[in-house]
Amino acid sequence: MTSRTKSTAKRGPGVGTSIELFTGGGGLALAMHEAGFRHLLAVELERRACGTLRANGAVDYEDGSPLPKSLADRWPLRQGDVREVSFDRWSDEVDVVAGGVPCQPWSLGGAHKGFDDPRNLWPELFRCVRETRPRAIVAENVKGLLRPSFKPYYEYILRELSAPFEQRVDGEDWHDHDKRLVKALRANDAHLTERYDVKYKLVNAANYGVPQMRWRVFVVAFRKDLGLADWQFPEATHSELALQHAQDSGEYFEEHGISMRDELLPEVLPVHDSKPRWRTLRDATRDLPEPVGDYVEHPDWLHHVGWPGARQYPGHTPNDLDRPAKTVKAGVHGVPGGESVVRLDDGSIRYMTVRETARVMTFPDSWRLDGPRGEQMRQLGNAVPVQLGRVMADSVAKALKQATGEKA
């Protein structure tokens, strides 16, 4: 894989094994790998995303090929529809099933079809769980999953994850299946290896060291026989208040060699919370030079290409260098301004380059994205920020080690 990947190869087989579903451009997969999980399979449908995974070392999976033995081995990639993949081969070989379940059915910017959307692939995650019986599950999705109109179905998702072997039968309405799940969970008579302790949390990536305001829902489940019902999500590591204090004292502006900006600060600041400060867009891109020109890649920086036509609209203001970036989105949603535009110190605006956007998503600079700019940006907008995924993956790895008596 990348040079960063090579640095973990000395850890041998790693902390466990994983199957990556809906792998996309590889954000969560890279995070799981860096946490020490050895990928047995990565599944992805989109051609360009598969190109990205191959460009960073993945290799096409062939039926009957030996399983990877160490973190140095390439990720086996299956390009195609997850609904056509049988996971029986990996039964009882998998520690974690992980994936960012496609967000279009639930996104605030989408058509809001939810469970009626054919792109609702939660059922495929449940099928993978039934066929592989992993010790843990890590799933990520957009904030829209918590929309009040979707609450009944979301609660159904959590119950189905708690009892994935109470399988929905052909032709059964999900409401009827949900009633069966409620009854089965109340009975509490299933084998512990067929039940999971499930927890979810809405998190802001900025609170975990990502230079971006990005709200996402994480769902983490541990098989009940592991005794991890008390596991809790990692606490926030960074804070907005700490950034405000650093800017109020002038420390932040002195660090960057720029003038203070009083308009960023509230009139009254609470006492410092002792956390590290939120990372800003300026923090993430401070060592990057300006693009050398439109459609021209910088000779020293991969994917650092200028792009013309940046404008701003009401409600689509540019990113501020001295705040975390806005949420990176998979599409421009009809306007060429806002989330992918930055206001520079001289007051001018321009599009962020793909490299700058990848920095905001905390991908390493060596991570090569396949396709034209639009496809590269779409992959980034659909990804899990690597740093956020790493925080979750590390916590899951620590819990699994504790459950098996290993040193965390």
* Residues recognised as catalytic: 103
Q: Can you say whether residue 252 is alpha, beta or left, with left for phi > 0 and alpha for psi between -120 and 50 degrees?
A: alpha
Handedness of CA 88, 92, 93, 95 (dihedral sign): positive
What is the DSSP annotation of 304-333?
-BB------BTTBPPEETTSPBPPP-SS-T
Dist. CA 342–CA 387, nearest whole Å: 22
| Paired strand residues for 294 | 306
Beta carbons within 10 angstroms of residue 283's beta carbon = 18
Write down the residue that tokens 């050895």 correspond to. 38
Are residues 333 and 286 in contact, defined by beta-carbon separation less than 8 angstroms?
Answer: no
The pairing of strands 76-79 and 37-44 is: parallel
Residues 6 or more apart whose Cβ sits within 8 Å of residue 51: 370, 371
Residue length, the chain?
A: 408
Are residues 337 and 318 in contact, defined by beta-carbon separation less than 8 angstroms?
Answer: yes
| Paired strand residues for 305 | 297
Dist. CA 389–CA 213, nearest whole Å: 15
Dist. CA 345–CA 347, nearest whole Å: 5
Are residues 367 and 358 in contact, defined by beta-carbon separation less than 8 angstroms?
Answer: yes
